[in-house]
Amino acid sequence: MYKTSCAFSILSSLAASAAASTIVRFPSRRPMASISTASGATSPDPENLKPWLLVGLGNPGKRYSGTRHNVGFELVDFIAEAEGIPMSSISFKSCFGRGSIGNVPVMLAKPQTFMNASGESVGAIVSYYKIPLNQILVIFDDMDLPFAKLRLLPKGGHGGHNGMRSIITHLKGSRDFPRLRIGIGRPPGKMEAANFVLRPFTRDESVELDFTFQNGLEAVRVLVHEGFDRSATFVNSAKTLEHFRRI
């Protein structure tokens, strides 16, 4: 079984105490082969390539592993496994990895600042590497989407998501970066949203997420090779999950 792990320790000048070092481990899922190259897609010109930053949002530590709020972390782990990108180091307050998808350079990041301060990490990476906003993809959970549904958007607000709120703040208020939303559904009954997002997935839900992550992986491959519009058409199609079930 594949597991992504990286040790992390933060000393915050605004905190009363230091955050303890922790080993971050998340469940992995077995990726399928890409369909983008089989579709006859052309590869981009290597001389004109710019690196993509793929950010998954979540909370560090075993307590949060496998919870709804951490699906962004899980999809980044899934991408890392599929593309052979190691994520065992800490940089910019993130579990961080560098590699490529095909011949496109990418950086993968899972901020270890806890969800509400995710922008501290993302802002630092973007500033250091001078990454264009349209080359940033943020992956996160969304209660406003049906469970296991994906939605790829070119820009937008935070929608009440504190991780996205923090990122927008640290990108100087800019909302003009792509985001991949993963539906986690609505809380049952009168359950508070804050409690719902920290609930683990059921076994049946985890099976459903396998298909969602396959689609998310393929969406990222299409995005970096063929552009946003092509990827959005793929992701936002109602037939996406059924396609992978037939393979």
Domains in the chain: boundaries? 50-245
Fold type of domain 50-245: Rossmann fold (3.40.50)
Is 161 one of the annotated active-site residues of the chain?
no
Asked whether the beta carbons of 115 and 162 are under 8 A apart, the reply is yes
Find the catalytic residue in 69, 161, 170, 225. 69
Tokens of 206: 């985890």
User: Taking the CB of residue 27, how many other CB atoms lie within 10 A of it?
Assistant: 18
CA 77 to chain centre: 8
pTM of the model: 0.82
Q: How many CA atoms lie within 13 A of 26 on its CB side?
A: 34
Q: pLDDT, tens digit, for every residue of 22-32?
A: 333 333 455 65
Tokens of 28: 């992995």
DSSP type of residue 181: E
Asked whether the beta carbons of 209 and 23 are under 8 A apart, the reply is no
Q: pLDDT, tens digit, for every residue of 73-128?
A: 999 999 999 999 999 899 999 999 999 999 999 999 999 999 999 999 999 999 99
Q: What is the pLDDT of residue 236?
A: 86
